[in-house]
Amino acid sequence: MTLPRISGLTARAFRVPLPRPWGPDVPAVHVVVSEVATDDGRTGTGFTWTPSVGAGAVHALLTQDCRAAVLGMTAHPETVWDLLWHRLHEAGSGGVTTLAMAAVDTALWDLRAAAAGHSLADELGRRRDAVPVYGSGVNLHYPLRELVEQAERWRKSGLSAVKIKVGHPDPAVDAERVGAVRAVLGPDVLLMLDANQRWDLLRARRALALLAPHDPYWIEEPLLADDLAGHVRLRAECGLPVAVGENLRTVHEFRRWLDAGACDVLQPNAARVGGVTPLRRIADLAALYSVPVFPHLLTDLSGQIACALPLPTMVEDVEDASFAALGLLRGEGPVAIDGGVLRTTGRPGLGLDFAVGGVAGHGPEDGSAGTTGHTADHRPAGRTAEALR
């Protein structure tokens, strides 16, 4: 059978306000929606994402270099990914490069799964029908009362695991906040802690000594994300499982961390690593080291990937930050969460019907930079996605 070839690539970038801002400097996230057309008349929809910076650069790379490179290629995601990375990586092996590649890769997986008439999870090789969910929040800036209220919402929803932020300048404040959340959750709910790279080795040792009595399931990114040697030392000393990966970009980086014994959990972000194709490779590699992969954010996509991962896993659900919660989807999404468990809904392909038909994004198919600022359709009251200018 002759596979179709890519005949077009378009992309539009949007700024989407968060109902629960991730801090004063992150009131919104950016989503770039892509479409890949093939010469047999089909279209696949993909996306990439970045919280605060780089969406314009990603869009430019997509509509210029990516588009020029993929036109005429066979619409096979793994083949395209390898050829595209070889073409683009002189601009950087990660960062903007892999963020742009994710928009192409996810669109091609959407095409592939939809052509087979089933979901991405089934196209990847489903291993499980349901995946546990852990509640998550970008909540270091929350007052203690608001943090406790969030923990109470999680407990009432039946979650068996949650994650909160730590990294206050005074580790005693962290200990008070973690203790208050543990008191709400009780001893049987798993409690993960995420420092978001806020400590150095000295402060991490002190903070973790104060937090250990609250039985954290893991400590995430306690040091700078590229401090491999520091994580090896801290993991050996602190006695707590260490989770990393949301800021690692290539399979080669993940391999170095696995070889060094620097982590207990890997958390690749599908957008940051370049899409579904490299995330699958990272998961297969991690399985050889008996290290589980817990995909980072992007629940609508991560939940489907998690159903096909080789080792047991959980899916992160940041409160009010899914595509559905942000008003970016029209109708039913590809996953549904109930009672702390995620299941796929059976929509074919990626199952993402983006509700952005009323928004003109960054330029037409020729990659020009013209925009207009219409309001997206199907948007919750008080929030609109804005086309980036």
Residue 146 phi/psi, 5-degree rounding, is -70, -35
Residue 186 sits in the same domain as residue 323: yes
In a domain, 250, yes or no: yes
> Which pLDDT score is estimated for 136?
96
Q: How many CB atoms lie within 10 A of CB 210?
A: 17
Model pLDDT for residues 275-331, shown as the tens digit of each residue: 999 999 999 999 999 999 999 999 999 999 999 999 999 999 999 999 999 999 998
Over its length of 389 residues, how does the chain's per-residue pLDDT go in tens digits?
678 999 999 999 999 999 999 988 899 999 999 999 999 999 999 999 999 899 999 999 999 999 999 999 999 999 999 999 999 989 888 899 999 999 999 999 999 999 999 999 999 999 999 999 999 999 999 999 999 999 999 999 999 999 999 999 999 999 999 999 999 999 999 999 999 999 999 999 999 999 999 999 999 999 999 999 999 999 999 999 999 999 999 999 999 999 999 999 999 999 999 999 999 999 999 999 999 999 999 999 999 999 999 999 999 999 999 999 999 999 899 999 998 999 999 999 999 999 865 433 333 333 333 332 222 333 333 455 666 64
Residue 29 sits in the same domain as residue 131: no
Q: Which of 30, 59, 163, 165 is catalytic?
A: 165
CATH number, domain with residue 183: 3.20.20.120
Residue 243 sits in the same domain as residue 335: yes
Residue 214 designated active-site: no
Q: State in Å, rounded, how far the first CA of the chain is from the last one.
A: 43
Q: How many CB atoms lie within 10 A of CB 53?
A: 10
Q: Identify the three-state secondary structure at position 172.
A: helix
Distance CA 133, CA 313 (A): 9
> Which pLDDT score is estimated for 52?
87
CATH number, domain with residue 77: 3.30.390.10
Residue 304 sits in the same domain as residue 155: yes
Residue 290 sits in the same domain as residue 359: no
> Which pLDDT score is estimated for 385?
64
Give the number of domains in the chain.
2
Residue 86 sits in the same domain as residue 125: no
Residue 39 sits in the same domain as residue 180: no
Distance CA 20, CA 18 (A): 5
Both structure tokens of 198: 């806020």
> To which residue do tokens 């330029």 refer?
363
Residue 367 sits in the same domain as residue 332: no
Q: Which of 30, 59, 296, 362 is catalytic?
A: 296
> To which residue do tokens 């596979």 refer?
3
Residue 140 sits in the same domain as residue 261: yes
Q: Identify the three-state secondary structure at position 62.
A: helix
Nearest residue to 328 (alpha-carbon basis) of 357, 301, 296, 370: 357
Scanning the chain, the segments in alpha helix (DSSP H) are: 55-61, 67-70, 77-88, 96-116, 120-124, 144-156, 171-185, 201-211, 228-238, 251-260, 270-273, 276-288, 299-306
| Upper half-sphere CA count for residue 118 (Cβ side, 13 Å) | 8
In a domain, 349, yes or no: no
In a domain, 171, yes or no: yes
Residue 156 designated active-site: no
Predicted TM-score (pTM) above 0.85:
yes
Residue 127 sits in the same domain as residue 94: no
- For residues 80 and 104, is the Cβ–Cβ distance under 8 A? yes
Q: Identify the three-state secondary structure at position 355.
A: coil
Nearest residue to 45 (alpha-carbon basis) of 357, 305, 303, 315: 357
Q: Identify the three-state secondary structure at position 348.
A: coil
Nearest residue to 318 (alpha-carbon basis) of 51, 120, 126: 51
In a domain, 42, yes or no: yes
In a domain, 326, yes or no: yes
Per-residue H/E/C for 281-347 = HHHHHHHHCCCCECCCCCHHHHHHHHCCCCCCCCEEEECCCCCCCCCCECCCCCEEEECCEEEECCC
In a domain, 202, yes or no: yes
In a domain, 1, yes or no: no
In a domain, 350, yes or no: no
Residue 11 sits in the same domain as residue 104: yes
- For residues 19 and 379, is the Cβ–Cβ distance under 8 A? no
Distance CA 364, CA 118 (A): 30
Instruction: Convert 293-319 to b/e letters by CB count within 10 Å (16 or more is b).
Output: bbbbbbbbbbbbbbbbbeeebbbbbbb
Residue 165 sits in the same domain as residue 310: yes
Q: In which domain, by residue range, is 73 found?
A: 6-116+355-387
